[in-house]
Structure formats: C-alpha cells, structure tokens
Amino acid sequence: MLSAAPQIPTPADEPVDRSLVEDRAESLAALFRSRVVAMPDRPAFIYAVPAADGTDEWLTVTWAETKGVVDRLAAGLVALGVGPEDRVAIASNTRYEWAIADLAVMCAGAATTTIYPSTMADDVAFIVSDSGAVVVVAENAVQVDKLRGIRGSVPAVRTVVVIDDSGVDTGGDGWVIPIAELDRLGAERLAAEPDVVDRRVAGTRHDQLATIIYTSGTTGRPKGVRLLHSAWTYEAAATEAIRILGPDDLQYLWLPLAHSFGKVLLTLPLQIGFPTAIDGRIDRIVDNLAVVRPTFMGAAPRIFEKAYGRIQLMMAEEGGVKERLFHWAEGVGHEVSLLREQGRAPSGLLAAKYALADRLVMTKIRDRFGGQVRFFISGSAALNQDVARWFDAMGLPIAEGYGLTETSAASFVNRLAAYRYGTVGWPFPGTEVLIAEDGEVLLRGPGVMEGYHNNPEATADSLDAEGWFHTGDIGEIDERGFLRITDRKKDLFKTSGGKYVAPSVIEAAFKGLCPYVSQLVVHGAERNFVSALVTLDPDAMATWAAAHGMADRGYDEVVSSAQVRDLVQGYVDELNAGLNRWETIKKFTILRRDLTVEDGELTPSLKLRRKVVAEKFKETLDAHYDG
C-alpha cells in the first residue's frame, strides 16, 4: 500500500528563493565578513591536532576567532606587497590552514592559485609561472624543497610561506618564512594601519579574479581556469536557494581543496553558516566520522564504492543468520528507496518491515558513518546507480551532482525532495542548459568561468559567442528535467564494426557488481571487440585471501592466481549479461597493482586518466587482440 503521493516539483516550479541568487554578496571576502557579523560566536572550523600518543585533539574556532587570524594573515600578505588580483598559490593537502590562507588571500583582494601537493616539480613551475604567483603558501618541507628546486623558473615569487616549518631550512635570505612570521608581519601592519584589510575587502568587486584552478590534463600542460568572485558567490547562493543545507548542518571536509569540488564546499559555509570539520587524511575518514558525527559530506564515487564493497564483504564473512538478515534488510530498503524516489512513502506491512529492518540493520550501517548523516554529495565522476540506491536503502541518500572546474564545480544536483538515481539532478537556479545536436551538454550562467588564463585559443574553443560553455560531456534530459550524463564526448569510441561504446557507463556498472574491484578500464576503439584492464582493491583482496587460504601470499601473487581470475570472470559474465552484444568484454587482464595518483594514472580527485593508462599498458591491451 502507498500513502498519498505529494506533488513533486519540476525545475520550473521548484520552490527556491531566487532573490538569494539575484542579490548576493559582492565578493567572497564580503560574504565571509557578513558571516562573522551574523554568527561571531558560532563554530566556523573544527580541526584535528595529532597528539604524541597517536590520538587527535579536535579544536574548534569560532567565526570571530577565524576573522582575527584571517585579518592578520591578509595584512601580512599586504605587507609582502601583494596587491589586488595578484596571485597567491597554495600547495598543500586539505587542512585548516589551507582554508585560512585562502580566506586571507580573498580579504587581501588577491586571487588564489591552487596546486595539488602531489604535483610534479615541472608542472608546479608551469602553474606558478603561468599564473604569475608572487607568493606561495607551502604545506611543509617537501613542498618547500620542490619550490627551491624550481626557484630559477619562478622569478616572480617573492616569498614562500610555510605552514609546517619543522625540518625546513629557511635559508636566511627571507625567501622562505614560517606562517607565524606572516602573522607577525600582519599584526604589525594592522597596528600601524588598522583599516588596511577593511579597505581591501570593500574594494574587491564581483567581477575581479578570485581563483585560478589548473585542470589536470591527460596530455600537454594543464589549463588555468579563471573564476571570478561572482562565480563563487553564485554557487553559494544557489545552493542555499535550493534548501539542501542549513545553518544547523555540520560538514566533514576531506576533499582536495585544490579541486573545484572541495573549493565550493569550502565556500558554502560562508553563505549558509554551518561549521566545517576539516581533515584531509583519507585514511582517517571512517575514524573521524565517528568522532565528528557530521550531517553531510562530499566525496568522489570511489569512496562510496569502497565503503559499499567493504560492507558487502563483511556480511559475506559473517554468513549464516546475520548475512541473511542483512540481505533481507537490503531488499526492504530497496523497495522503500524506489517509493521515495517517486515522492511516496511506505505504509502498511512494508512500513512495519522497514521499521524493523531499520532497527536491526540500517541503524548499525549509519553508525559506521557517525550516526548523524542526513545525506552525502557525490561529484567529480559518475556514481554507480546500484551503489547509490544501496546507500539510500540504508537511510543514507546520496545527492549526485554535476559540474566542471570551468563551471565553479556544481551546475546540477539532485535535491533531497526530488531526485532520480542515475541522473545528476536539476540545474541550479540561474544556470541554463542546452543539449547540442550531437548530444553535448552546453551550460550558461553566473558560475561559468571567465576563460582560460593566458590561453585565448582554448577559451575560444570552449566558450562560444553566445556565452555557452561546451562541456565535452554527452547527456540527455528526461521528461522531468533530470540530466543524465552518458559519457565524455572524447571517451566515446567506435568499434571496427561501427558500433559506439560509452566506456564510463560500463565501468560504473561493474563497480556496482564486483565488491573487489578498484578500477575497470574499458578499451576497444577501432578494434573488433571490447576488452578491459582490471585492478582490484588491496584491502578487499586481503580479506578475500585470508578467507581462501592465501593470507601468507602477497597482493601480486593473489591477484595473479587462477582462483582470482575465475572470481573476476564471474563478475564480468554478470556484467556482460546486461550489455549489448558489441559492448561485452571479451578479454580482460588483471593488473598486478592498482592505479594511483602518484603514478599519474588517476587525477588527485580520483578520476581515471584514460589516455595515460592506455599508453602505459599499451602492450597488455594490444595482446588482447593478437591472433
């Protein structure tokens, strides 16, 4: 039985407060200052300080306290000669100091250039030089050493400010200074000129440069995406307008802040007012969730896939009554998830079964994520629909969104009140979408970039005369306005038989079937059939090996075994059963190691660098077609 279905809104009549978008702050600095005035004593950031015994002490900083630190650092940048729209680069992992440094750059009227800490020295030299950065904020000795090695290539850099100066030789020439020295310089400048930062904030306009984010290209040099203050304030205002978040939420933020997804999640609190627990240690996510107990978290699909696979394997290990109870609860939750997606609620017997399943199983699953999560946000790559559905069944809905660095991250997102799994939701209020004749998704609106830094040719290729940004993604809009991304335009390939294949769709499907997989790379352009490379998750395989008498063997030996080959073949067969004949994977190779960011096969946001992988494993792929 079903209860009466509520009216589900459509994009045209969605109840949003469009005045938030139309009457937004002049700049990020002004937005930050208004939040301080509105909530001076409320928590702004919560961050961990590792103790000597290996535990963490969590500290809380209020908005007023944040302003005090930010003003001193901003004044310190002014004292170093940083002027309006001058670039200040940040090369650091996600941490509290990254957020503070970025706010200081905004309040100094300057612009942040983001650099992943894993970026190789040659690319760092290009990014710093191309952006024209005059100051670099470096996380630690590793980043400082990298900058010293390229100093001759970045003559515009006047000062390097180091966050963690342990083990750092400052050299005595003033080129490298600890962040404490920047703070001291700022305090001196404020004592002599108390309104120096206030004037910078008041003078920053919406059409000034706020950020340059360099896209992680698969070939050639990365392109610097120029994003104005108006783009970020739009993102923040549009998110508040759709009522997905509120001031009583608590965010857990671990994503790379050099990526637009992380940067937009850092911007939302300025608009909405919720606190952010910030810690970039990926290996601490699960432990930290239990301590912080957030209400929402943003993540890349790989995080959800890995958690899903781990829980499935744990239940399989338990076996017996526990495993049967778990799968019964999954089935009940799946039924309820399907109803919720239609705007309906369970009633009668189904409602009673769901209440029981929730008490016996689902509550325990939610407790693994802190017990307070209202929803997750997924972005950066396609999320498998079955994985998303499973989380929703457990009472942990995932709002999948879509956007690019060139659109300040989010352009579409599923709402909590109206969503459809397998899609990326509705556009943000103020964003226009057009599907071109060839299926490419075109976007226009306040979040779209100004252009590529120092690259007018690339800008002209991506932004047309009418202001439409050509995303390079293929998509379709359904009858209710939900956008479905089917693949990257450049990743679509045609077999020698003339049939088109969308690799990312197949890859995402496999990750929902196989709890052991880390990556599947589908290949077959101009070939007579489709083949694939497979990598397996080391943690999942360690569990499998222990259960199959191979605990004493190394990862390489385990994944190369005939037993694992048969295991993967079974999941490939299951995948193939749901594909068109020309899409089916005829041959595959299990690689003896996983793909990594460090080896350049994944971007820092965990997206596959398809061309890099194809080139690196060319001989393996070619062997699929020999004979």
pLDDT single digits (tens) 191-249:
999 999 999 999 999 999 999 999 865 446 789 999 999 999 999 999 999 999 999 99
Does residue 606 sit within a domain?
Answer: yes
Residue 407 domain boundaries: 299-488
Instruction: Report the sign of the C-alpha dihedral through residues 247, 307, 574, 319, in that order.
Output: negative
Q: Is the pLDDT of residue 4 over 70?
A: no
Tally of CA atoms within 13 A in the half-sphere of 12 that contains its CB: 3
How does residue 428 score in pLDDT terms, banded at 50, 70 and 90?
Answer: very high
* Same-domain pairing of 123 and 22: yes
Tell me what pLDDT residue 177 has.
97
* Same-domain pairing of 65 and 197: yes
Q: Which of 488, 520, 540 is the last residue of a domain?
A: 488
* Same-domain pairing of 26 and 49: yes
Residue type for 493, please?
F
d(CA 404, CA 65): 33
Tell me what pLDDT residue 604 has.
75
Which helix (H) or strand (E) segment holds residue 269: the answer is: helix 260-272
* Same-domain pairing of 334 and 419: yes
Does residue 433 sit within a domain?
Answer: yes
pLDDT tens, 520-565? 999 998 889 999 999 999 989 998 998 889 988 999 999 999 999 9
Q: SS3 for 536?
A: strand
d(CA 416, CA 394): 15
How does residue 282 score in pLDDT terms, banded at 50, 70 and 90?
Answer: confident
44 CB burial (10 A radius; 0-12, 13-18, 19+)? buried
pLDDT tens, 65-121? 999 999 999 999 999 999 999 999 999 999 999 999 999 999 999 999 999 998 889
Rounded to 5°, angle at Cα 619 from 615 and 621: 80
Query: Strand 440-444 to strand 432-435: parallel, antiparallel, or no bridges (unpaired)?
Result: antiparallel
Tell me what pLDDT residue 376 has.
96
Does residue 288 sit within a domain?
Answer: no
Q: SS3 for 177?
A: strand
| % of residues, the chain, pLDDT over 70 | 97
Which helix (H) or strand (E) segment holds residue 70: the answer is: helix 63-79
Q: Which of 461, 488, 515 is the last residue of a domain?
A: 488
Do residues 376 and 32 make contact, with C-beta atoms less than 8 angstroms apart? no
* Same-domain pairing of 361 and 414: yes
* Same-domain pairing of 535 and 482: no
Tell me what pLDDT residue 496 has.
82
Q: Is the pLDDT of residue 3 over 90?
A: no
* Same-domain pairing of 462 and 534: no
Mean pLDDT of the chain: 92
Task: Give the number of domains in the chain.
Answer: 3
Tell me what pLDDT residue 319 has.
85
pLDDT tens, 494-532? 888 888 888 888 998 898 889 899 999 999 988 899 999
CA 50, distance to chain mean position in Å, is: 25
Rounded to 5°, angle at Cα 176 from 175 and 181: 115
d(CA 599, CA 331): 40
Token digits of residue 485: 């991304």
Q: Is the pLDDT of residue 187 over 90?
A: yes
Does residue 282 sit within a domain?
Answer: no
The CATH number of whichever domain residue 451 belongs to comes to 3.40.50.12780
295 Cβ contact list (under 8 Å, min separation 6): 248, 249, 250, 251, 372, 373, 374
Do residues 495 and 528 make contact, with C-beta atoms less than 8 angstroms apart? yes
Q: Is the pLDDT of residue 181 over 90?
A: yes
Does residue 406 sit within a domain?
Answer: yes
Dihedral angle, C-alpha 388, 392, 395, 400, nearest 10 °: 60
* Same-domain pairing of 480 and 460: yes
Token digits of residue 603: 């971007």
Look at 178 and 604; give whichever has higher pLDDT.
178
Q: Is the pLDDT of residue 296 over 90?
A: yes
Look at 485 and 234; give whichever has higher pLDDT.
234
Does residue 2 sit within a domain?
Answer: no
Which helix (H) or strand (E) segment holds residue 203: the answer is: helix 196-203
552 Cβ contact list (under 8 Å, min separation 6): none
Average pLDDT over residues 308-331: 89
Which helix (H) or strand (E) segment holds residue 43: the answer is: strand 43-50
3-state secondary structure string, 354-407? HHHHHHHHHHHHHHCCCCCCCEEEECCCCCCHHHHHHHHHCCCCEEEEECCHHH
Tell me what pLDDT residue 9 has.
67
User: Cβ of 237: how many Cβ atoms within 10 Å?
Assistant: 26
Do residues 162 and 144 make contact, with C-beta atoms less than 8 angstroms apart? yes
Average pLDDT over residues 305-332: 89
d(CA 202, CA 107): 9
* Same-domain pairing of 506 and 477: no
Q: Is the pLDDT of residue 435 over 80?
A: yes
Residue type for 426, please?
W
The CATH number of whichever domain residue 542 belongs to comes to 3.30.300.30
Do residues 225 and 214 make contact, with C-beta atoms less than 8 angstroms apart? yes
* Same-domain pairing of 446 and 571: no
* Same-domain pairing of 113 and 186: yes
Tell me what pLDDT residue 8 has.
61
DSSP string, 7-33: PPP-TTT----HHHHHT--SSHHHHHH
Residue type for 549, please?
G
The residue among 97, 238, 73 whose CA lies nearest residue 163 is 97
Q: Which of 459, 488, 517 is the last residue of a domain?
A: 488
pLDDT tens, 337-348? 999 988 888 899
d(CA 566, CA 401): 36
Which region among 102-116, 294-308, 389-403 has the lowest average model confidence (pLDDT)? 294-308
* Same-domain pairing of 83 and 209: yes
Does residue 1 sit within a domain?
Answer: no
**Alpha-carbon distance values, 106 to 33, 101, 103, 192, 284 (Å):** 11, 9, 5, 21, 30
| pTM of this structure | 0.85
| % of residues, the chain, pLDDT over 90 | 72
What percent helix, strand, coil does the chain show, rounded to 5?
40, 20, 40
Does residue 259 sit within a domain?
Answer: no
Q: Is the pLDDT of residue 288 over 80?
A: yes
**Alpha-carbon distance values, 616 to 121, 507, 585 (Å):** 21, 19, 20
Q: Is the pLDDT of residue 1 over 60?
A: no
